Structure 1
Amino acid sequence: MKRFLLTLILLSVTILAIAQQKEKGDLQIGIQGGASLPISTYKSIGETKVGYYSGFFVDKYFSGNKFGLGIDARYIYNSINRQDTFRFENGYISTDYINKTRFQDYLFTFGPSYKYSVDRFHVEAYIRGGLMMQYFPEYVRSVTYEERDPTGGSITHTQDIMATVNDASNRANSWAGVGGLRFNYMLNKHFALFGHVDYVQTFGEKFGGKSSQFAIERIEETNPILETASVKSVWDHYGDVRETTQTPHKTVQTGIGVKYIFGKKKSPVVIQDNSPKYDEEVKKIALKGLQIVVKDKQTNLALSGVTVSIEGMDINDKSVTDANGQASKVSSIKPGQYQVVGEKNGIKTPILTLTEADFQTSSAVIFKEIYHDDPRFTLIGETFDCATTQNLAGINTVLTHTGSKVNASQTSDAEGKFIYQLDAQSDFTVVANQQGRYSQTEIVSTKGLDRSQTLYVTLKLGVCELVENGEWVLKNIHYDFDKSNIRADAAIILNNVVAVMKQNPTLRIELSSHTDSRGNDDYNLKLSQRRADSAVDYLIANGIAKTRLVARGYGETKLLNHCGNGASCSEQQHQENRRTEIKVLQF
């Protein structure tokens, strides 16, 4: 950081030194300030409000007073929308702000400028690149509610539903850019007033090995809590998947300022151009390279795994894009007409046509971007061994759309990876389907995800060996309060058990149900037995022989923690004890 600031200072001194030696171009320095308007994900994810900025700039124009170089330094401040406490029938939703409720940034950039003048009016265009020092807010949003227990007392539950997940210092550095226009009116030969508008954005997700973007982790709201609502469980209103999203700095800044121009204003001098003609220079470069980059249209992210075809003249080339979205570079192609198209998951990009006009440049390589528009999300999964945590190849996986019940299957590759395309606003289950092994039924959802911000959804699917006396907890099996009937969401999980039993005909299991310690001990024992019986009955109804199944209700006799009768425990600790388990009796 110190080196970067020193570089900016040296550049400023260099510009001033050049100005003292040459009077052919203007040297100007200005101060400015105005409004900082957050846009896109910076506004939605950061909950950012309109703020302000101030700063200064220095520009040195070269001979002809049209092109130059400049530096820009700014202080940017945007506060965030503080959320008031929302109260409902038996609780409230509140936000705990841990530090200052603002984004505070320092921007230092360097780059070219261009000026167009008519009498007293000047228009300047500029583009800069450099470094932004960022300071983030920190907060946690949670739901707090009271629940009546069977003894007449009450239990208070608190569940975090959203929190910032940045570096402990809440600071980050990032590469940044700014580009815009400045509209000037000359008061005299030295002073001018101006108004300007420009766009500021940071780039990249990492800087110096650390995250460079503001990030939050939140749970999707599935059923909004109303003022009149009485919350029984936070999971009735929120999903159980935590999603992390992040955003770069994105602001439009508009303001006014004043600048001072050194030296004397001179009349334009007509300079005869004796340099080689453009066409003559182009002829020197007859053959060029071609580099194609493919990006996702909705997120502008580089897209890997796209087959890019280039046809024309004597070229018929195909290659697959890498992690940076780059196809293999084609070397030494002749000027002419070519067609470029990319394809992935059966969807093609629009055809890009290159003509001889694209070859009329002094650059040795032609760079072109094409955009792939697939409205679906991409699930990238990995199968791994439960015991060793090493990725497993050759595991058959099954994806099921919970709405349409349509299945798709795929076998994990040599690296243990598998890929599916997911429709928007949909729920899915993913399981491993392999003889001698089992997996949990993992739930994946695209509900609440914004395709313009998110392309990839990730999943790690644990695959375990079936062994005698082995046991595991069935995730995501839930019952209604005081009920034992099998709900639709629990049936999805039990369908995976049915599949495992059918693939392994010698397998005999005990299916057990467990409660937490709240309520009457004897009643809990009977309720857990009814629930175990219901689950086993479902398996029998779906083709599993009764002789291969044992239903056992343990009530609260096998707690996994210290939360016995009378113990003060959180809802999460009690939830750990409410579970359905499978134990292998024979295999």
Structure 2
Amino acid sequence: MKQFKILLFILFTSIIYKTNAQVTTPVASTVNNSGFQFSLRGGYDLIPMYDNNTPYIDYKGGLELGASADYYWNWFGLGADFDYIKNSPKNTYPTTNLFFGGAPISGLNFSKDNITRTFYGIGPSFKYQRSNRFSTELKFRAGLGNIKGGKLLLDGTTSTLLPILLNYHAGYDAKNVLSGKASLQFNYFFNTTFGIHAGAYYLRHFGVDELVDTTTGYSSAYAPFTTTSTLNETPKNNITTLTPANRESCNCDISSIGVYAGITIKLSPGVKEKKVCSECIQCTVCGKTHMPPMCACQTCGCKVSITARDKYTKEILPDTDIVLVNSSGQTTNTGKTNGFGVVVFDNVKTDNYTIKGVLNSVNLIDGTLTIQELSNCQANGGVISKEILYGDRNFIIKGRAFECNSTTPIAGINVTLENKDLAVKKSTMTDSQGNFLLQLPETGTYELYGRKENYFSQIERVTGGDYNRDKNLFVKLEMCAEKVDCGKGLNLKNILFDLDKYVIKEVAKPELNRLVRFMLDNPTVKVEVGSHTDCRDTHKYNATLSQNRANASVDYVVSQGIDRSRISGVGYGETRLLNRCADGVNCSEAEHSINRRTEMKVICPN
């Protein structure tokens, strides 16, 4: 098992090293190695190794927590480490089929204490850094350690109640033990300050004194035993004496191998890039010729950070397209804002620029970036921060389309926002996750629906007047559509009739209009409208009433421009009940209402 853990450790460090080696590229002229570096970590003490006189006790790995502080002058630095480690003793003495003098040993009692180890150390650090993103560190520390705990006791009794000490170790309480540590750490930085790391360590405590029990005089002890067995018999562990095999206390080493990961914070002084040049070289970024002794290596380009915001609510705007247009009208830099509404352009040449942005086909208010700002950017740390504003008074619907009664998104459905009275109609397609964006005017009520083959969309009504544009830019909406399979009935809601009547009421028209919209969007399909009643009254009466109601629904759909040859009505009466409420069954009004319904289904082509 210990060999397997060592193989895991080697594999872990090899993978990290290979990854670091593959993704780094030599950019020596822009790398800054000097400054303070702080790390917080958590990990697992993978392979603890206790050199002591306990033949029937092993040790298990556990939690590792630590912190480091380093200062680097370049590739060389000096640092300090603190580590807290927890291990646990593991009994390996047999606990079954124990006998003494032919009598079984019972009443086993087992207890153990965890071991805690702390380490404080200082020493040299070595750093290999090929870019500002990645670095590798090798650290050596010398210091002091404290080891406490680890007591283990296993005893039992014979049939005559004689106590037998089976396995014992008094544990540790050692302070200020000379200790050493080596670690290999790999860092990845998201920016000039913050990063993450992973690594592995080897820690050793030298000459750790074991405790000695003041009552028994034992540091470690166990009951000697022999194992005997005969054919078809479970092996017996026979205790040979009641006097434990006493082991002297050991002044032995404790060591372990572990892995860890955590965060790294780097505090570096400003980058100073100077080089004495024998001749003047033109900078390819800013176009200027620099004179000795600071020419080719002088920083020329500027980094420009642009944040997109809403003018009224100050909300940040992710996924906004941003471009820089120079004084000649050429687009020199393009990008899209991240989840924080920011895009960063590196090495922007000195010129006058117009900053342009587009969000969901709407232009943002142009911003400016001047020669003066770029000329002074080095005095401001080499970074210029600009802002560009979205000034449109329309809301933005940030929506998602799902299949009804599920969480399955619908990709590629054409979502339409429409107001026929104002002659406004806007459409967009959903992405692979069902997401879409649409502009919603401040005034008016609009219908939102989806169009896709074999989908029967709900129609959502949204009114701009329900929202305050000075407080909200985004309106979050969800819409659903039902998957249509030919021959499968879909319930049309709110198709309600007065008692014994078959006149279409106003409350039914929005749902029938949804059917009209589906048939307009799918001009080749034919639809059946089926009307159903409950079991009350006679079969003949219910059949006639349901047929008249189905015909009324068909007449309304035809009046909205659908050819009559594409739609038919069928009155099913009480022949297709959805529950137990047949003739002679006592049911509540709510149960009967389930059977009174109007359905649509696409007629399967024959």
* TM-score normalized by the length of structure 1: 0.42
Greater C-alpha radius of gyration: 2
* TM-score normalized by the length of structure 2: 0.41
